[in-house]
Structure 1
Amino acid sequence: MFGINEIKTAALLGLLSGLLVLGGYYLVGNEQGLYLGLAFAAASSFSSWYYSDKAALAAYNAQPIERQQAPELYDMVASLSAKAGIPMPKLFFVPTKSPNAFATGRDPEHAAVAVTQGIVDLLLREELEGVLAHELTHVRNRDTLTQAVVGTIAGAITFLGRILTFGALYGPVTRDNRQASNPFGLLFLIVLAPLTAALIQFGISRTREYSADLGSAEITGNPEALASALEKLEAMGHQIPMNGNPAMSPLLIVNPLSTKGLQSLFRTHPPTEERIRRLLELAKQKQATPVAA
């Protein structure tokens, strides 16, 4: 049975695809645009499904890790993968002092987990286990695929908005000039649709982060360790930002951004304070639950 997070994600993804179809319709100006939008959505989804891991790893210059290079880390991921019930993903290393980690791949059989030098240096063993379990939960839940598809479709909507902007400035976009009859629709697709697509993308990302935090607590049995790790990552992330393609930022375990005012709408992750609060509350519930004999 699907949970509330899965239902919410499916609804937001459907809305996002609908925006792309609407953009195709408005770009062409007739029913053929609907088919164009559908084809564009399908092509975008397929490409992101197949190439998501390569794109994300390349964005952060991640390098593969063999067991002899980092046996402790390798064995840690192997043990956590077994507890999560998934094949061990390929391991990658990102040569940056910014503390972060991410998972990518179209399914658990083609997954990869990347860690930065900064996160390995910063966290204690149990904290790093919490972070890795969080990323493995993303793999198990196929969040990596969802985020890749969402990011690609959102990018396509923004691209269509730019095309429509060009047409509005330099002439009608279609031969029958149907856009001119509905300036509010054109305004929506040029300005509001890309903005809406970004907000939907961030909404899906925030939903999946809460689920991955719970999955980490389930795998490790230690929600307090992940809470401690998130506190450290949030503090250091502001001091040493993670450079790379902003489109890939929803994959990261933390992506610090101001939570004040309207900027809070554009966070790719839930507020770290709220994530920590939930984890600590889960730890209290776990302590209050009597252990079965």
Structure 2
Amino acid sequence: MGNQLKTAVLLAALSGLLIAISYWAIGGITGLIFGIAIAAVTNLVSWYQSDKIALAAYRAQPVSPNEAPQLYRIVERLSAKANIPTPRLYIVPGSNANAFATGRDPENAAVAVTQGILNILSEEEVEGVLAHELTHIINRDTLTQAVSATIAGAISFLAQMVSYSLWFGGNSRDGNRNANPLGMLFTITLAPLAASVIQLAISRTREFSADAGAAKLTGNPRALARALQRLEATARQMPMQANPAFEPLLIINPLSGEFLGNLFRTHPSTEARVEALLQIEQQLAATI
């Protein structure tokens, strides 16, 4: 419940930031209405199109039960246990090892895994990864992350638009008061940064919850812990290239660099996630 509340607060802050910079940068009621309109449109697009956009970004290909029988067997078993419809399954070509889930709700969800993940993980480790992705679907994280990514993108677009207006249009606006200098500075420089920080904080919060849900769904937290360690090691050797906006959807940070501080990580550290999973293992053992 704590993670759900934290996510709601962060999403509210992200939407509020979009509306606020519209108010200060564009001006008065016009800016306020513009910000609300952008927030509404971006949320609507995320609601209906997020799955198609994410799958296309990673060139994910649909697979049938005949093409991936092991994958379907695991997902069908876990879906039945979680009491949700079996999601559509996709495979992303290439040797990179990662996975993600997308879709606005369990009835319209999809899970995608890379070919690389099927090559390097054992069956129980694959099960842990798939349980993690199914937990994202159960918790509606797939929609939450899509909305946060879209709003953050809208904030960056608005900042870029304001920057162009300063270069080419001056600082006056038809029928509105002059642009607030502090508002302009905040919009162009700090707002996109703040939006990214909030978006990434949402992603990190949801990853911990999905790990915990997967551990309870499979009853095997250690398998997911091993999978995360293998996936991180592979990501260091073969970073996965795609649109950065979709990185929070992935089960593991797709980039190999360690220069990023915790504030700008798309995921919690693998060490922290493994430690949390081993604590859950101890809790499960104590209940037997």
Identify the TM-score tier after normalising by the shorter chain: over 0.9
User: Which residue of structure 1 lines up, in the alignment, with residue 121 of structure 2?
Assistant: 123
Unmatched 5+ stretches in structure 2:
none
User: Which residue of structure 2 lines up, in the alignment, with residue 174 of structure 1?
Assistant: 173
Task: Map 1:1-293 onto structure 2 (within 5 A).
Answer: 3-170=1-168, 171-172=170-171, 174-175=173-174, 176=176, 178-179=178-179, 182-257=180-255, 263-287=261-285, 289-291=286-288
Structure 1 counterpart SS, 2:24? helix
Q: Distance in 1 between matches of 2:212 and 2:173?
A: 49
Cα displacement (A) at 1:130: 0.3
Cα displacement (A) at 1:183: 2.1
Cα displacement (A) at 1:35: 1.2
Q: Distance in 2 between matches of 1:202 and 1:258?
A: 17
Deviations 1:214-248 (A, max 9, x none): 00001000000000000000000111111211111
Cα separation, partners in 2 of 1:120 and 1:260, compared to 1, 3 Å = closer
Cα displacement (A) at 1:194: 0.5
Structure 2 counterpart SS, 1:146? helix
Q: Percent identity?
A: 57
Structure 1 counterpart SS, 2:20? helix
Q: Distance in 2 between matches of 1:62 and 1:104?
A: 12
Would you say the 8 A contact 1:202–1:268 is kept in 2? yes
Would you say the 8 A contact 1:224–1:279 is kept in 2? yes
TM-score (norm 1): 0.94
Deviates more, 1:19-28 or 1:148-157: 19-28
Q: Distance in 2 between matches of 1:262 and 1:97?
A: 24
Cα displacement (A) at 1:256: 4.3
Cα displacement (A) at 1:188: 0.9
Would you say the 8 A contact 1:164–1:173 is kept in 2? no
Cα displacement (A) at 1:262: 5.4
Deviations 1:14-71 (A, max 9, x none): 1111111122223431212111111110010000110000000000000001001011
Cα separation, partners in 2 of 1:261 and 1:290, compared to 1, 3 Å = same
Structure 1 counterpart SS, 2:261? helix
| Matched letter for residue 208 of structure 1 | R
Unmatched 5+ stretches in structure 1:
none
Cα displacement (A) at 1:162: 0.5
Structure 1 counterpart SS, 2:28? coil
Q: Distance in 1 between matches of 2:66 and 2:258?
A: 45
Q: Distance in 1 between matches of 2:246 and 2:287?
A: 42
- Deviating beyond 6 angstroms after TM superposition, the runs of 4 or more aligned structure 1 residues are none
Cα displacement (A) at 1:139: 0.3
Cα displacement (A) at 1:280: 1.1
TM-score (norm 2): 0.96
Q: Distance in 1 between matches of 2:172 and 2:62?
A: 46
Cα displacement (A) at 1:178: 2.1
| Matched letter for residue 158 of structure 2 | L
| Matched letter for residue 103 of structure 2 | G
CA RMSD of aligned residues (A): 1.4
